[in-house]
Structure 1
Amino acid sequence: LLMDYGADVNPVHSSGEYGNPLQAAIFKKDEAIIQLLLDHGASVNQTGGRMGTPLQAAANRGLESVVRMLIHKGANVNAPAGGEYGTALRAALANNYEEIVRFLLQCGA
């Protein structure tokens, strides 16, 4: 509803838990909201918050389908975005998500 009334899906918030609405939806593991935000132009490479990028957040939460979706939409697999782990690969490694690690390595991480 907010997006229908012009809410910005890419506000810039570099501090706090979430850097943007997409990262918040990923943290909550809400794939319907993730898809909705992407359909409304949410940036897959926007940085900020505790996880740095949406890809790093998805790797941290173990959301393999979201990791794949973000990369398909153009997420930079090697984005040095800071955050808790620095990269999506490190987030996946730290949380023992082997399938995500394999996929990220196949994508050039």
Structure 2
Amino acid sequence: DGRTPLSLAAGEGYGATMQLLLERGGTNVNSRDNNDRTPLSFAAEIANEATAQLLLEREGVEVNSKDKDGRTPLSWAAGKANIATIQLLLKREDIEVDSKDYNGQ
């Protein structure tokens, strides 16, 4: 499915593993799987505020990245009613709150 170790750790909420991978260097915080999902989109989906925060602290993280369906990390968080993650994302000045997916939602 094209997921990287960082993406897998983010999707499971394994913050300590993510921290190790990020500190090691050379880890692409914006890596994409076969569905164009990033580690941040997986962290946003599972409602783990700490893992989302780890990624949001990284320089160059793409907060508005779109997957193959046009969904952003904010869309994934909102779809699961992950309030804490939504609040983290909304603190970003570069967040696009009106971004729509490819179905117009």
Normalising by the smaller structure, the TM-score range is 0.7 to 0.9
TM-score (norm 2): 0.76
Distance 2:50 2:39 in 1: 13
TM-score (norm 1): 0.73
Structure 1, unmatched stretches of 5+, are: 1-15
Q: 1:28: Cα distance to partner? A: 2.4
1:77 aligned residue (59, 63, 78): 63
Alignment of 1:1-109 (within 5 A): 16=1, 19-41=3-25, 42-50=27-35, 52-74=37-59, 75-80=61-66, 82=67, 86-107=71-92, 108-109=94-95
Q: 1:86: Cα distance to partner? A: 1.8
Aligned partner letter, 2:6: L
Kept after mapping to 2: 8 A contact 1:19/1:50: no
Aligned partner letter, 1:20: T
SS in 2 for 1:38: helix
SS in 1 for 2:32: coil
Root-mean-square deviation (Å): 1.9
Q: 1:85: Cα distance to partner? A: 6.7
Match of 2:101 in 1: none
Structure 2, unmatched stretches of 5+, are: 96-105
Q: 1:50: Cα distance to partner? A: 4.9
Distance 1:94 1:49 in 2: 21
1:31-86 Cα deviation digits (max 9, x unpaired): 11111111112111111145700110100111111111111112111112x15672
Q: Percent identity, aligned pairs only? A: 27
Aligned partner letter, 1:77: V
Residues 57/84 of structure 1: CA separation in 2 closer, same or farther (3 Å cut): farther
Distance 1:65 1:39 in 2: 16
Distance 1:49 1:60 in 2: 17
Size of the aligned set, in residue pairs, is 92
